[in-house]
Amino acid sequence: MRQRPRRLQPGRTPRSNPNAPWALVYIGLLVLAWAGFRRSRTGVDLYAIGNDEASARALGVNVLRTKIIAYMLDGALAAAAGLFLAASATAGDATTGNSYTLTSIVAVVLGGVSLFGGRGSAAGAIAGAFITTLIVNILFFSHVNPLYQSFYEGVFLIVAVVLGGAIGGAIRRRR
């Protein structure tokens, strides 16, 4: 027996709104979580270890405990990202995320995060992601073959690393 859809009474709103900006809510929650984590002892310890592990140990940071926490957080966030990717792709293919590897590295490096640790910020990484998205969109609207887009992303990565090294060296020489 088929049920009739329920009608809303005048003045009543539905329980969920599919047009609500849920992505902005998630971003807001992530920003709040990041701000709290960055100012917590574990967040400060992670940055200290990334900058110089021996100095952090000399300052009394429990390096082993902090690294274990970092790997646990990394695993939990990677699992959450995998769940979101599987939900948006509506499939469970192990090779679905392969196309995001170079793009994520380019975004992080363009955002000013050091590949060696201890430098950078989440805001810089997000800015790098916007720049990377802009580059991909420019390549698309320039009618560049999608097979070559990874090549150009790699070129931008190399240019960003070389320019970052040159600018950093120039700043160090001036001091």
Q: How far apart are CA 135 and CA 40, in angstroms?
A: 35
Domain coordinates in residue numbering, the chain: 21-93, 95-175
Q: Do 139 and 152 touch, CB atoms closer than 8 A?
A: yes
* pLDDT at residue 144, rounded to an integer: 86
Across 132-147, average pLDDT: 86
In the predicted structure, residue 68 carries a pLDDT above the cut 90: yes
Across 60-86, average pLDDT: 91
64 confidence band (pLDDT: 50, 70, 90): very high
More confident: 56 or 149: 56
Query: Which one, of 69, 67, 87, 65, lies nearest residue 77 by Cα?
Result: 69
pLDDT in tens, 87-120: 887 777 778 778 788 788 888 888 888 777 667 7
What tokens were used for 150? 């990874």
What tokens were used for 140? 């698309």
In the predicted structure, residue 74 carries a pLDDT above the cut 60: yes
What tokens were used for 19? 């047009």
Q: How far apart are CA 31 and CA 121, in angstroms?
A: 12
Mean pLDDT (the chain) is: 82
